[in-house]
Amino acid sequence: MRWIALLLAALLVNPASAAGPETPWGRGKAVEQTYARQKVVYDVAASSEAAVRSVISRAQLLVDFNGSDPFETKVAIVLHGNEIPFFAVKNLGKHRDLMQRAQSATLSGLVEFRMCKLAAEGHGFKPEDIHGFVSLVPMADAEIVRLQQEGYAYMR
């Protein structure tokens, strides 16, 4: 009986504990926001298909949030890491789903894939060894800087 009295006393002193977790800072609020006219460059050096898939999803979501305006929205995905072999023609059998997803992201003309030619060569690939929806640029770092100079925001 005494433990029931203690429980009731605790609830009367701290009624929030009965209602759920403590929230001393309140609760989050959703903010209505519109986005437009964004140009973004994603700097990608990934070692897993999941990481590349995540970047593609983020890029497509960003395009959607920007209203898919071909005059005002552009996303460049610059590849220069261990994801390069995923984009090799000879590896299509192993990475077909990822490559279909990547290629379909480019169909609107709002998402582009650019690959560091030096990094590709470091992996043993020439431009003709890479799928045709990817453009090879001389150097990833220089391309990222160039895009930033053209007003692209940097994302990692």
User: What is the CATH classification number for the domain harbouring 83?
Assistant: 3.40.1260.10
Q: What is the pLDDT of residues 16-67, one digit of tens each?
A: 445 678 999 999 999 998 877 889 999 999 999 999 999 999 999 999 888 7
Q: What is the pLDDT of residues 108-126, one digit of tens each?
A: 999 999 999 999 999 999 9
Q: Which residue has the tokens 């305006």?
A: 69
Tally of domains in the chain: 1
Q: Give the C-alpha distances (Å, rounded to integers) separating 78 from 30, 55, 73, 114, 128.
A: 32, 11, 16, 5, 18
Two tokens, residue 145: 């800087």
Give the separation between CA 52 and CA 152, rounded to whole angstroms: 20
Range of the structural domain that residue 49 is part of: 39-155
Entry pTM: 0.82
Flag whether 85 is in a domain.
yes
Flag whether 64 is in a domain.
yes
Dihedral of the CA atoms 58, 114, 51, 96 (nearest 10)?
100
